[in-house]
Amino acid sequence: MTKIAVAKGDGIGPEIMDAVLKIFDAAKVPLEYEFVDMGKWVFDKGYSNGMTPDAQRSIETLGILFKGPMETPKGKGVKSVNVTARKTWNTYANKRTFQTLHGVDTVFSKAGIPIDITVVRENIEDTYGGVEHMLTHDVALSRRFITRPGSLQLIKYAFEMAKKKQAKRITCGHKANIMKITDGLFLEVFYEVAKDYPELKADDVIVDDLCMKLVTRPDLFDTVVLTNLQGDIVSDLCAGLVGGLGFAPSANIGDHICIFEAVHGTAPDIAGKNIANPTALLLSGFGMLRHLGMMESAAIIENALLYTLEQGIHTGDFGNKSIPSLNTTEFAEAIIGNFGKVPEQGAKPLLKDLPTTQTYFKLEKNPMMESADVANEKIVGVDFFIESNEQPITIANKCMRHAGVKFKLINISNRGTQVWPTGSVYTNLVNQYNVRFESIDDFPLNQQDVLGLYVSMSGNFKICSSELLLMLGDKKAYSLAQGQ
């Protein structure tokens, strides 16, 4: 028996979790459950992260959390328990599998176009750090973190997973044509890792083009790897291709703790009515069983589910309306009644169980903190984000008086578009500018030089924020303004 932590969640969570565990128990899945307290009602009891200390301890000891959806209480300052859990336990890879399910009609299933896409989304970084500031009353800034180690662990996981499932193609979705530094780094790491997997066809597609291609020829894609926000959007798009969120499972994979859950939320509009569709949670459960090496149990139950769907049996949210729908409990019972049956299409082979190798330990050395080449960097300038409603030429004249002997004013931009020394009168301005200084004649700069300029500039301007301009080796580690 393997013990896992189970959190039933809020809204329809308890109903669909009960249905799934009933199916597991009927199939004699060798799992033992420790029910833990997480969700909205735990927030309401005063636990600000949405889980009790006992729940946290159990999950950290057991390493596997099977969870129902959880409501994020409305109001400022409250973080989603779902996002907190993924970040606290560094479940850096979010894996979502989208497959054609016979009996779930979609445009593509009707056209005979099969879909089997796995989206691997980075789960920690990007704008999901939620590091945001108002720079002025009118200007908001969000910081987007894309790191080499964060991208590396995600992309390595994606390639390993693609190799195991004998994927025909692995595609990186990105916007590196615009976000040359952040998405550029992600893409660079993708191709670095790809070199170790010559057997896999690795390519990349710009994310907007990817969306268009996914809705026209989804059958051409297999494994798709993306940064966090783009992955969030693309994975919901893929859920739509196979019948909606009711059929979208999700696994949050970390080195020590993994979380398995459905993609959908708590469905408050139908909670407590015993009519919710448990399929997405059940599909997530198959991911968990296979992760634990329980290949045979996963295949028996999955075949029964696929057979049930093929028979036209459905809950109220999908399927042929001329066949009466079943409620959640009846749907689970129908699946149990079909144990041993094999679907006509997509039957899963009854693979032997694998030995479980769960050894959890804390790393003594944290590779996330190591930088590839710390020595080879130098400060070459600084960007000041200032508040001003003056004309660019006026700002430039003031700035040049502060530049001194070490700095020269390079350019001024507004929302990323250059407005000085050249620009267009048609560019619309907000009251926050980025003023860029670089060192004269490659004069070596240090932080004290930058601080001196900061103090001098602050006599004239409110400086909302600043960034060092670095050269990493022979590469500029900062973007140029549009038109620079």
- Give CA separation, 203 vs 173, 190, 215, 282, 425, in Å: 9, 9, 18, 32, 41
**Residue 182: how many CA atoms within 13 Å on its side-chain side?**
16
* Stretch 294-353 residues interacting with ligand NAI (CB under 6 A): 317
CB of 11 to ligand NAI, least distance (A): 6
Query: Residue of minimal CB distance from ligand NAI?
Result: 265
Q: How far apart are CA 172 and CA 160, in angstroms?
A: 15
Residue of 280, 241, 214 lying closest to 108 (CA atoms): 241
The β-bridge partners of 121 are 94, 226
Which one of the spans 85-93, 276-284, 294-302, 446-454 is the region binding ligand NAI (CB under 6 A)?
Answer: 276-284
DSSP-assigned states of every residue in 445-472: B-HHHHHHHHHHHHTTSEEEEEEEEEEE
By CB under 6 A, residue 252 contacts ligand NAI: no
Quick check: helix, strand or coil at residue 261?
strand
C-beta of 457: minimal distance to ligand NAI in Å?
Answer: 43
Q: Rule CB under 6 A: is residue 232 a binding residue for ligand NAI? A: no
Burial-class residue 156 by CB neighbours within 10 Å (0-12, 13-18, 19+).
Answer: middle
Rounded to whole angstroms, how far apart are CA atoms 382 and 225?
34
CA 77 to chain centroid: 21
Nearest distance in Å: CB 276, ligand NAI? 4
The piece of 20-28, 178-186, 205-213, 268-276 that touches ligand NAI (CB under 6 A) is: 268-276
Among 56, 82, 284, 411, binds ligand NAI (CB under 6 A): 82
Beta strands in 180-240 (DSSP E): 202-206, 223-226
Query: At 95, is the secondary structure helix, strand, or coil?
Result: strand
Does residue 277 belong to the site contacting ligand NAI (CB under 6 A)? yes
In the complex with ligand NAI, which residue's Cβ is closer, 82 or 388?
82
Measured from the CB atom, is 82 or 439 closer to ligand NAI? 82
Binding residues among 41-80 for ligand NAI as defined by CB under 6 A: 69-72
The answer to whether residue 204 forms part of the interface with ligand NAI (CB under 6 A) is no
Contact 100, 112 (CB under 8 A): no
- Tell whether residue 276 is a contact of ligand NAI (CB under 6 A): yes
Q: How far is the CB of 454 from ligand NAI (least distance, A)?
A: 41
The distance of closest approach from Cβ of residue 39 to ligand NAI in the complex, given in angstroms and rounded to an integer, is 9
Query: Which of 56, 100, 123, 266 forms a contact with ligand NAI (CB under 6 A)?
Result: 266
Q: Is 372 helix (H, G, I), strand (E, B) or coil?
A: coil
Question: Which residue of 179, 237, 245, 295 would you call a contact of ligand NAI, by CB under 6 A?
Answer: 245
- Long-range CB pairs of 73-81, under 8 A, 24+ apart, other chains included: 73/40, 73/43, 73/44, 78/43, 78/48, 79/49, 79/130, 81/38, 81/39, 81/40, 81/42, 81/43, 81/49, 81/50, 81/51
Among the listed ranges 54-62, 161-169, 274-282, 357-365, the one in contact with ligand NAI (CB under 6 A) is 274-282
Residue 71 or residue 310: which is nearer to ligand NAI going by CB?
71
* Residues contacting ligand NAI: total by CB under 6 A: 21
Nearest approach in angstroms of CB 357 to ligand NAI is: 28
Residues at the contact surface with ligand NAI, assessed by CB under 6 A: 12, 16, 69-72, 82, 245-246, 261, 264-270, 276-277, 280, 317
